[in-house]
Structure 1
Amino acid sequence: MLENNKNQQKSPKRRFLLILGFTAFICFIALGLLIIFWDKFPLDMPQSRRTIFGSVILLYAILRFSRYLKKNPNEN
């Protein structure tokens, strides 16, 4: 019976949320890397604070993505 659930297609709502989750993850990763490495980024901060801020955004992206991948036991 477990094999049947793996072979079923996801509903359009779940598919849309999956795509939205991946898109948000990619956007947060890109934003964090831009803040860290782009020297002309329009933030008036010292490099050390920009590195910390960018790292926090990267960490948030990873945590958000890992929570998204965690399977809810009530879901099929």
Structure 2
Amino acid sequence: MFDFNSFKQKSPQQRFLFILGLVMFTFYIIFGGMLIIWSDMPVPLERQYRVMLGCLLIVYAAIRFIRLIKQEDN
């Protein structure tokens, strides 16, 4: 899945974009989890909508991660 040799052979721009993709994946996972878990969040949404939005963000993060890994293999 992840090979350090192919990571070393990338150009600096490709490495930066890969790391930026990982940072954004982590951001979406954390923000989606915060929406689901944090009950007193200062967002004026009902609980069910916050859970749906949190799940949507986590699914979106998974899709981004899969695309990032598939791009890594090419």
Q: Distance in 2 between matches of 1:33 and 1:9?
A: 34
List gaps (5 residues or longer) in structure 2.
none
- Structure with more helix by fraction: 2
Aligned to 1:20: 20
Q: Quote the RMSD (CA, aligned, Å).
A: 2.2
Aligned to 2:47: 47
Q: Distance in 2 between matches of 1:53 and 1:72?
A: 28
Q: Which has the larger radius of gyration?
A: 1
Report whether the alignment pairs 1:36 with 2:36: yes
Q: Percent identity?
A: 36
Tell me which stretches of 4 or more aligned residues in structure 1 moved more than 3 Å: 5-8
Shift of 1:14: 0.8
Q: How many residues align?
A: 70
Q: Distance in 1 between matches of 2:10 and 2:49?
A: 42
TM superposition score normalised by structure 2:
0.81
Shift of 1:8: 5.9
Contact 2:7/2:15, CA 8 A, preserved across alignment: no
Q: Distance in 1 between matches of 2:9 and 2:20?
A: 17
Q: Which moved more, 1:59-68 or 1:40-49?
A: 40-49
List gaps (5 residues or longer) in structure 1.
none
Query: Match of 1:9, as an amino acid?
Result: Q
Corresponding residue SS for 1:53: helix
